[in-house]
Amino acid sequence: MEYIVSQKLFTEARKYIPGGVNSPVRACKSVGCDPVFITKAKGASVFDADGNEYVDFVCSWGPMIMGHAHPDIIEALHGAVVNGTSFGAPTPTEIELAAMVVEAVPSIEKVRFVSSGTEATMSAVRLARGYTGRNVVVKFDGCYHGHADSFLVKAGSGVITLGIPGSPGIPDDIVKNTISIPYNNLEILEKTLRDEELDIACVIIEPVAGNMGCVAPQSGFLEKLRSLTEELGIVLIFDEVITGFRLSYGGAQEYYNIIPDLTCLGKIIGGGLPVGAYGGKAEIMDNIAPDGPVYQAGTLSGNPLAMAAGIAALKLLQRAGFYDELEAKARGFAERLQNVAGASGVPVQLNRVGSLMTSFFTGEQVTDFDSAMKADTDTYAKHYRQMLSKGIYLAPSQFEVAFISAAQSENDLEKALKMTEWSFKNLL
Ligand code: KE4
């Protein structure tokens, strides 16, 4: 494959944009190559500026569960855009999408739309602090909740991908109110939450971690987290920006039947347009301005185009059998991928929850941040470059997930398996 045009574009982009990208992980630094510039996408395929076609397992980092440029979403956007693009005023479509979210997500009685997952999580934490009058946020090593100051402590996603401990520019006063503890460690969880020295406002967690690679909650972990936060009056926030409408129509909380106090959403609910949301018990949500004193606002919150795309996307997900079919497809693919890895002799741990999965290049089980960090990122990088050269578009980081979408065909998956088999033969 040639990447001549992408390379020219990357040089040009770096003149105007830091790192040539508008989000760090896209720069492909950790996988030892320059990014390809994508010009269009359709269904399971993305196309780069050199005209190369790829089977897409990034899915825009999660939103494109239906595949790219779905006709229903395109039609919804056409219908909306002719009426204008933004009004800065309440609109009927915000009510429609809000009602769909309230209906779908067990914990959500009221919901506020924002424009990104980061806005959703930072607002939910501010709300939890305002509602409890406490300051400390507990998060988990390797989980990523966006780039708000409070979260860049042992965070996942691009923070571990780039190997940066946190970020300059965040005052110690902020960091001291964030405590990060190991995922799946019940003993440290209980010890931390029961520490009376800490005035803990909330715990925020990815109910299935997707930002240290895919890491599932071990049996009893979420249940213990829920019972402890309930007992201690600590607000439990599920960050379902990835898992919301992904693991089931009601998200991870429906999938595991654990109901948090607040839930953060993003990605899928925008159908590819910029949307985030946070919601939960009315008793808590009614503390948000203008009804309550906790302030949060946004010029483009509830944007009519984003609402139209989100409504169309969720309607597609309501089809009977959708999630069963997605689970069967993902399970079948993962089983075959496991066989390829097993036959290759390459040490791979394949973690999968629903249509999220990660192949960790390590011989040990991956159950938390420390075990994830033992993965061989150089081998992942070589695998990434090999797969790209064969038309398979994976996440440019060992610490992200691959997404199965409704659009990938059996041929697409078969091609990915064949190229994986070829790659594994040429890795070591
Ligand atoms: P955004 O602000 O990027 O819309 O959402 C932040 C966020 C919050 N919570 C979770 C669980 C998330 O995964 C994210 C963002 N995910 C990353 C990739 N895993 C977005 C990709 C990027 O940073 O470019």
Cβ of residue 240 lying under 6 Å from some atom of ligand 1: no
Q: Note the pLDDT of residue 158.
A: 80
Same domain, 226 and 367: no
User: Residue 110 gets which letter from DSSP?
Assistant: E
Question: Using an 8 Å Cβ cutoff, are 97 and 113 in contact?
Answer: yes
- pLDDT tens per residue, range 306-358: 999 999 999 999 999 999 999 999 999 999 999 999 999 999 999 999 999 99
96 and 154 share a domain?
yes
Residues 201 and 59 in one domain: no
Average pLDDT, the chain: 96
Is residue 154 within 8 Å of residue 180, measured between CB atoms?
yes
- Helix boundaries (H) for 355-428: 369-372, 377-389, 410-425
CA of 321 relative to ligand 1 center, distance in Å? 28
% of the chain with per-residue pLDDT over 70 = 99
The C-alpha atoms of residue 349 and residue 31 are separated, in whole angstroms, by 19
Residue whose CA lies nearest to ligand 1 atom number 20: 61
The reply to whether 213 and 298 lie within a common domain is: yes
pLDDT, tens digit (0-9, with 9 covering 90-100), for 45-96: 999 999 999 999 999 999 999 999 999 999 999 999 999 999 999 999 999 9
CATH, residue 385 = 3.90.1150.10
| Ligand 1 pocket residue status of 117, Cβ below 6 Å | yes
Domain boundary among 248, 282, 317: 317
Q: Is 158 found in the same domain as 104? A: yes
Task: Name the DSSP class of 294.
Answer: B
Q: Which residues partner with 386 through β-bridges? A: none
Spatial contact of 66 and 406, defined as CB atoms under 8 Å apart: yes
| 365 and 254 within one domain | no
Q: Are the C-beta atoms of residues 111 and 244 closer than 8 Å to each other?
A: no
Q: To test ligand 1's pocket by mutation, which of 21, 115, 123, 157 has the most ligand atoms within 8 angstroms of CB?
A: 157
CATH of the domain at 111: 3.40.640.10
**Three-state DSSP class for residue 426:** coil
Same domain, 142 and 26: no
CA of 117 from ligand 1 middle (Å) equals 6
Q: How far apart are CA 281 and CA 283, in angstroms?
A: 5
- Answer yes or no: do 362 and 225 share one domain: no
pLDDT at 164: 63
Q: What is the atom index within ligand 1 of the atom nearest the CA of 157?
A: 19
179-212 burial, b at 16+ Cβ within 10 Å, e below that, comes to: bbbbbbbeeebeebbeeeebebbbbbbbbbbbbb
4-59 confidence digits (pLDDT tens):
999 999 999 999 999 999 999 999 999 999 999 999 999 999 999 999 999 999 99
Q: Catalytic residue positions?
A: 144, 239, 267
Greatest Cα-to-Cα distance within the chain, rounded to the nearest angstrom:
61
Strand order in the sheet with 402-403: 349-353, 356-360, 402-403
pLDDT at 217 over 80: yes
Point out which residues pair with 20 in neighbouring strands. none
Q: Specify whether 177 is located in the same domain as 268.
A: yes
Quick one: 156 exposed, middle or buried, by C-beta within 10 A (0-12, 13-18, 19+)?
buried
Which residue, of 317, 333, 367, is where some domain finishes?
317
pLDDT over 90, % of the chain: 93
Q: Quick one: pLDDT at residue 159?
A: 78
In 3D space, the residue among 106, 57, 404 whose CA is nearest the CA of residue 249 turns out to be 106
Protein residue with least CA distance to atom 5, ligand 1: 117
The distance from CA 237 to its chain's CA centroid, rounded to whole angstroms, is 15
pLDDT value, residue 165: 59
pLDDT at 125 exceeding the cut of 80: yes
**Domain shared by 342 and 299, yes or no:** no
Phi and psi at residue 209, to the nearest 5°: -70, 135
The closest of 308, 288, 284 to 298, measured between CA atoms, is: 288
Same-domain pairing of 333 and 349: yes
Whether residue 204 has its Cβ less than 6 Å from ligand 1: no
C-alpha span between 387 and 422 (Å, rounded): 9
Give the model confidence (pLDDT) of 142-185 as tens digits: 999 999 999 988 778 887 777 665 788 888 888 889 999 999 99
Pairing of the two strands 45-48 and 38-42: antiparallel
Is there an atom of ligand 1 within 6 Å of 156 CB? no
The domain tally of the chain equals: 2
344-380 pLDDT tens trace: 999 999 999 999 999 999 999 999 999 999 999 999 9
Same structural domain, 199 and 310: yes
Q: Domain of 251? A: 71-317
Specify the pLDDT at position 82: 98
In this model, does residue 131 exceed pLDDT 90? Answer: yes
Helix (H) or strand (E) holding 5: helix 4-16
Which among 285, 317, 349 is the end of a domain?
317
Q: How far is CA 136 from CA 139, 200, 263, 277, in A?
A: 10, 4, 18, 22
| pLDDT at residue 377, as a whole number | 97
Overall average pLDDT of the 197-224 stretch: 97
